[in-house]
Structure 1
Amino acid sequence: MAFRIPNTAKTWFKHIKSKQGSNTGFELDFDIHYFCLMAGLHTQRKEDLTASETTEIVQYFPSDYKKDRHLIIALFLKKELEQLGVSLKERKLLNNQLKILISTTSATRLSDQGMRELNKYANGGFRVLQEHFLEPPRTLENFLITFNKLFTKSEP
């Protein structure tokens, strides 16, 4: 299963995508997924979209994110287990949920169900960003400043 973003996300982020040969914006579509995912996890917002409402971007962690994949997965698992009401002290329930969300054979180490849930957070995070920004971001610098304010303004 692949990392997916809402179809409208590429258009919304188009001004801060790097132009070929420049280093002034997001170089990968996965960058869009990452920021949307972080916003969704931070606000605990999920949105279920159909496959036709989303675009597949990649089926694995790109090399720029490979070193941080365990942290990204851990953040996702922490939020998902919280949302499911699973305590780390409930070992049997915890192990059952982890078996549902994790796969040792997939490139991402998440099961199909885990990827579906992760993508729901990215979808929800995209909606959070749309609501938080008055208009689509025009520069990477302004996006990052405003994005940072979203995280430091208050806890979810």
Structure 2
Amino acid sequence: MYKSNIKQLSVFFILFSLCFLTACESYPVENASSKADFPVVIENITLYGEPERIVSLSDEITSALAALGLTDRIAGVNTDSALEDYAETLVAGTAEQPDIQAILELEPDLVITDTALSTKNIQALSSQRIKVLVLSGEAEQYPAVLEKLKASDSE
């Protein structure tokens, strides 16, 4: 009888733990401002809404964002940017050597790069709820991929 009670308690504890952990998971709150086409998955990250502040660590990415009409959302660019239109934009290091402190000070909700960041850098950004999007493929494909950053009713 004692073993039976221990089994029952163990099963109860496991089920309770699973229910508790499931209840603690964070889900996005739907409201009137939510867009119908979000969440979207781009290169293995999920975005629940349009990013408001973006740091681009590549001239090709910055150009693609501009082509999509997202220049007002670019909070920072790569230090070695050759794009004259962004000479006055705050810098955030390079894809190879991102300046994590500068990125954090820019308070982006999304960092986009075409070079994989170190695990340490990704963890530093993720701990501040900053998504990191690493684009793969050719730069000519970036506009098509980044188009997903815009809600269908965005201009």
- Specify if TM > 0.5: no
Higher RCO (CA-CA < 8 Å; seq separation 6+): 1
TM range (shorter): under 0.3
Report the structure, 1 or 2, having the larger strand content.
2
Q: Please, what TM-score do these two structures have when normalized by structure 2?
A: 0.25
Structure having the higher helix fraction is: 1
Q: What is the TM-score with the length of structure 1 in the denominator?
A: 0.25
